[in-house]
Amino acid sequence: MSGRDPAAPQMRQDDRFPGVLIHESAYVDDPCSIGQGTKVWHFSHILAGCDIGEGCSIGQNVMIGPNVPVGDRCKIQNNVSLFNGVELEDDVFCGPSCVFTNVLNPRAAIERKSEFRKTIVRRGATIGANATIVCGHEIGAYAFIAAGAVVTGPAPAFALMAGVPARRIGWMSRAGARLGEDLVCPIEGVVYVETESRLEIAPAS
Sequential pLDDT tens for the chain (205 residues): 445 555 556 888 888 999 999 999 999 999 999 999 999 999 999 999 999 999 999 999 999 999 999 999 999 999 999 999 999 999 999 999 999 999 999 999 999 999 999 999 999 999 999 999 999 999 999 999 999 999 999 999 999 999 999 999 999 999 999 999 999 999 999 999 999 889 999 987 6
d(CA 171, CA 82) in angstroms, rounded, equals: 26
Contacts of 185 (CB under 8 A, 6+ apart): 173, 174, 175, 177, 179, 191, 192
pTM of the model: 0.92
One DSSP character per residue, 35-68 reads: -TT-EE-TT-EE-TT-EE-TT-EE-TT-EE-SS-
Q: Judging by beta carbons within 10 Å of its beta carbon (0-12, 13-18, 19+), is residue 74 exposed, middle or buried?
A: buried
Whether 196 contacts 203, CB under 8 Å: no
Contacts of 136 (CB under 8 A, 6+ apart): 104, 117, 118, 119
Contacts of 6 (CB under 8 A, 6+ apart): none
Position 1 scores a pLDDT of 44
Position 7 scores a pLDDT of 52
Domains of the chain: 11-173 (2.160.10.10)
Q: Which residues of 103-119 are buried (b: 16+ CB within 10 A; e: fewer)?
A: beeeeeeeeeeeebeeb
Position 164 scores a pLDDT of 97
Cα dihedral 137, 98, 129, 155 in deg (nearest 10): 0
Position 88 scores a pLDDT of 98
CA atoms within a 13 Å half-sphere pointing along the CA-CB vector of 114: 2
Position 143 scores a pLDDT of 98
